[in-house]
Amino acid sequence: MDDTDLPPRLTRLTFHGPLSEARAAQLTSRLSRAAPATVLDIGCGWGELMLRVLAATPGATGLGLDLNAADLARGRENARARGLADRVRFAEESAVGTAREPADLVLCLGASHALSEAEAPHHTVAALHALRRLVRPGGRVVLGEGFWQRPPTEAELAAMWPGATAGEQYDLAGLVDLAVAAGFRPSWIETADADEWEEFESGYQCDVEEWLAANDTHPLAAETRERVDRHRSTWLRGYRGVLGLAYLTLVPVA
């Protein structure tokens, strides 16, 4: 069995999160106006937003940190295809306690867990303090972080990931308060909408769902089917309409 026998992975996703093209364009425009010379992407995956900021900011250089080798390879290939390979590096390494130099723009999209080994929700506080250390004076941080849109019910928590509790996420106001306490001012507060979530969740599953439809008797079909059915149920019965994702553009206090 070789890779051609396996389900494709995340080819339908442009961003590894609920981020629309329209919101990405607005973020890119807003961030590039600040003319960052250096961009650091924590838990970058394939670094799509970082690459867009670099393309919109002539001369800027970027560094993406992640532990997923396949995602990093995808980022490198995208950078080569866009003529950005000489301005960006993708490094397979942990960001916990990273000694990398501070940057003018730090991206951390759905990856605050990459900055701390603390359990939720304490990792959010630790990540914010790490981000404060990693951004240069006058720079920007874009933090994509989960929050409860409303308190989850017991039934919803039971349908989510194993061990889900109401205390592992903050609400939006509480999340912003934490950012302020960590030494930031929130220059822009926005949240993923229902369409962005549905596009992400559908795109996350689409490759595998179509593979299963065409490979029902494959040796890996039963295991794969159980995994994707469990994820779909976790979304539809658990966190759909309950878990939000905030995109906070933060400015460090001098």
Q: Tell me the pLDDT tens digit for each residue of 146-183.
A: 999 999 999 999 999 999 999 999 999 999 999 999 99
- Number of compact structural domains in the chain: 1
Its domain, for residue 31, covers 16-152+162-193+244-252
* 4 in any annotated domain: no
The Cα 152–Cα 241 span in angstroms is 10
Find, among 36, 65, 40, the residue nearest to 50 by Cα.
40
* 142 in any annotated domain: yes
The Cα 231–Cα 166 span in angstroms is 19
Identify residue 93 by its one-letter amino acid code.
Answer: E
Report the CATH number that the domain containing residue 38 is assigned in CATH.
3.40.50.150
pLDDT higher than threshold 60 for residue 188: yes
Average pLDDT, the chain: 96
Per-residue pLDDT, 5: 74
**24 or 4, which is more confident:** 24
* 82 in any annotated domain: yes
Contacts 24+ apart (CB under 8 A), 234-240: 234/159, 234/160, 234/161, 235/201, 237/155, 237/156, 237/159, 238/152, 238/156, 238/157, 238/158, 238/159, 238/160, 238/161, 238/164, 239/152, 239/156, 239/160, 240/197, 240/201
- pLDDT band at 7; cut points 50, 70, 90: confident
* 177 in any annotated domain: yes
Instruction: Indicate left, alpha or beta for 210 from its phi (over 0: left) and psi (-120 to 50: alpha).
Output: alpha
* 208 in any annotated domain: no
The Cα 246–Cα 244 span in angstroms is 7
Per-residue pLDDT, 162: 95
Average pLDDT value for residue range 189-204: 98
Strand segments (E) across 58-167:
61-66, 88-92, 103-109, 135-148
Per-residue pLDDT, 120: 87
Percent of the chain with pLDDT over 90: 95
Per-residue pLDDT, 4: 61
C-alpha dist (Å) from residue 47 to 19, 78, 108: 13, 9, 10
The Cα 218–Cα 6 span in angstroms is 9
Per-residue pLDDT, 195: 98
- pLDDT band at 1; cut points 50, 70, 90: very low
Average pLDDT value for residue range 221-238: 97
Model pTM? 0.95
How many residues are listed for the chain in this entry?
A: 254
* 115 in any annotated domain: yes
pLDDT tens-digit profile of 67-98? 999 999 999 999 999 999 999 999 999 999 99
Strand segments (E) across the chain:
38-42, 61-66, 88-92, 103-109, 135-148, 184-191, 243-252
Contact 128, 143 (CB under 8 A): yes
* 198 in any annotated domain: no
* 202 in any annotated domain: no
Per-residue pLDDT, 54: 98
Taking the alpha carbons of 35, 38, 42, 43 in that order, is the dihedral positive or negative? positive
